[in-house]
Amino acid sequence: MPAKFVPGNRLTLLNSGACFFPALLTAIGEARHEVHLESYIFENDNTGRAVSEALIAAAQRGVRVRLLVDGFGSPDFAKALMPALTAGGVMALIYRPEIARFKLRRHRLRRLHRKLAVIDGTIAFVGGINIIDDLNGEDLTTPRYDYAVRVEGPLLVPIERTMRRLWETVAWVTMKRRYRLERKSAPNPSPRGDQSAAFLIRDNIRHRRDIEEAYLAAIAGARRSIVIANAYFLPGRRFRRALINAAKRGVEVSIMLQGRIEYPLLHYATQALYGRLLKAGIRIFEYHYSFLHAKVAVIDAQWATVGSSNIDPFSLLLAKEANLVVADSRFADELRGSLATAMQQGAQELLTLRWQQLPWHSRLLRWASYNLVRAAIGISGYGGKHGAG
């Protein structure tokens, strides 16, 4: 489904948790009617507890507060945080609770990976930042690198509608009866700015490839530059071909990827693709300053996307995702400048000669990892002609 751009929005780019969490907590603290929050991870750390306390405080002053977290991303939520939240008046649900963690069933891979919030129908947050400390992680001494966007304007309507539908579905499954939310505050469609944007989701029903198709259309139309920053990058054939074709027609293509090893199998599988990308003239930057968690792109300084969707089989074929796509030169310039700074200060460019000098056993490790990931996708039944092949 093509992206439907909606004019009249005001968009604020938020770089990592240091910008995002103060904005989120302020919005929750000023809420008067409704707060609706979705997160893949809701951690029992300083940030998670601060957000929990803000949600409880809102509920106790009469605000209707709804919280939905993923059962796999937040396995300890039900015991660590949920009792206090529900006792404080927060309506909290878990998407696909992990009851049998060690049973391999295909539906277990379908996770809620979105990070969304809507407050009073006037402010929304869309991005890739979970409810977790920026420094929560093994050997993490510098903040996790990610983005979110504060949204005001008519785009609140599809964002709120999307969150409401999923809440009603999960409530129905959880409570074993049809559930309809009573609306305390409808989204305000009045213009709040002059920026055009589209809200895209990925699900397993009507929007299976909306985010991927938006990327592919923008890449196909690129004339000058493509900058992508992605935490987990394992694109399928169509996506790789689109990037290579863009580089061949003279577009400067730069990709910033994870430099630190977080998940070894996926890390080395991604590196198996480096040779062909470098050969096509695509520049690859590995971000080492911290863990890269961003899922963003800027094309021709006029198209940009920020969201939860990685460019890998999990995001593009399985999970529920949400991305903001922006058609605005000011926003694109700001994001591009931020990425340029990150590449300059925290990343190292991978040169073709250095890559070609890798010993044969290192290359074998990477291709073995790639083929293992491909096999896993095939076994899960989600490979298809657009898969990671």
- The residue type of 21 is F
Flag whether 253 is in a domain: yes
User: Do residues 167 and 270 share a domain?
Assistant: no
Residues 245 and 171 occupy one common structural domain: no
Task: Categorize the per-residue pLDDT at 372 as very low, low, confident or very high, splitting at 50, 70 and 90.
Answer: confident
* In a shared domain, residues 88 and 30: yes
* Within a domain: 193: no
Grade residue 380 by pLDDT with cuts at 50, 70 and 90: low
**How far is Cα 225 from Cα 211, in angstroms, rounded to an integer?**
20
Is residue 189, in this structure, part of any structural domain at all?
no
> Is residue 192 situated within a structural domain?
no
Q: What residues are annotated to the active site? A: 113, 115, 120, 293, 295, 300
Is it the case that residue 320 has pLDDT exceeding 70? yes
Give yes or no: residues 166 and 220 share one domain.
Answer: no
Measured on CA atoms in the order 58, 59, 62, 64, is the torsion positive or negative? positive
> How many helices, marked H, and strands, marked E, lie in the chain?
13, 15
Q: What is the average pLDDT score of the chain?
A: 90
Q: Cβ distance 283 to 225 under 8 Å?
A: no
Where does a domain end: 137, 160, 175? 175
Mean pLDDT of 332-352: 96
In a domain, 190, yes or no: no
Q: Which residues contact 74 (CB under 8 A, 6 or more apart)?
A: 39, 40, 41, 42, 43, 94
Residues 33 and 108 in one domain: yes
Residue where a domain stops, chosen among 159, 175, 191: 175
Tell me, yes or no, whether 170 and 110 share the same domain: yes
CA–CA separation, 292 and 308 (whole Å): 13
| 296 plus 250 within the same structural domain | yes
pLDDT at 111 over 80: yes
Tens-digit pLDDT profile for residues 194-205: 999 999 999 888
Are 24 and 123 members of one domain? yes
Q: Binning pLDDT at 50, 70 and 90, where does residue 386 land?
A: very low
Burial class of residue 76 in the structure, from the number of CB atoms within 10 Å of its CB (0-12 exposed, 13-18 middle, 19+ buried): exposed
Does residue 182 belong to any structural domain of this protein?
Answer: no
Summarize pLDDT for 222-270 with one digit per residue, the tens: 999 999 999 999 999 999 999 999 999 999 999 999 999 888 888 888 8
Task: Clarify whether residues 15 and 65 are in a common domain.
Answer: yes
Number of domains in the chain: 2
332, two tokens: 């694109």
Residue 83 has pLDDT above 60, yes or no: yes
Confidence (pLDDT) at 189: 84
Instruction: Please tell me whether residues 38 and 149 are part of one structural domain.
Output: yes
Domain final residue, candidates 126, 158, 175: 175
Is the same domain home to 163 and 108?
Answer: yes
| Helix residue ranges per DSSP H, the chain | 16-29, 46-60, 77-80, 82-87, 156-175, 210-220, 237-248, 264-271, 274-279, 313, 329-346, 352-356, 360-380
What's the rounded Cα separation, in Å, for the pair 115 and 39?
5
Q: What is the CATH number of the domain that holds 318?
A: 3.30.870.10
Whether residues 217 and 345 fall in one domain? yes
Domain residue limits at 137: 6-175
- Mean pLDDT (whole number) for 54-69: 98
Q: What per-residue confidence (pLDDT) applies to 249?
A: 97
Top-confidence residue, 38 or 189: 38
Provide the pLDDT for residue 271. Answer: 87
Report if residue 150 sits inside a domain: yes
- Provide the 10 A C-beta neighbour count for residue 79: 9
Answer yes or no: is 1 within a domain: no
Q: What is the mean pLDDT of residues 353-367?
A: 77
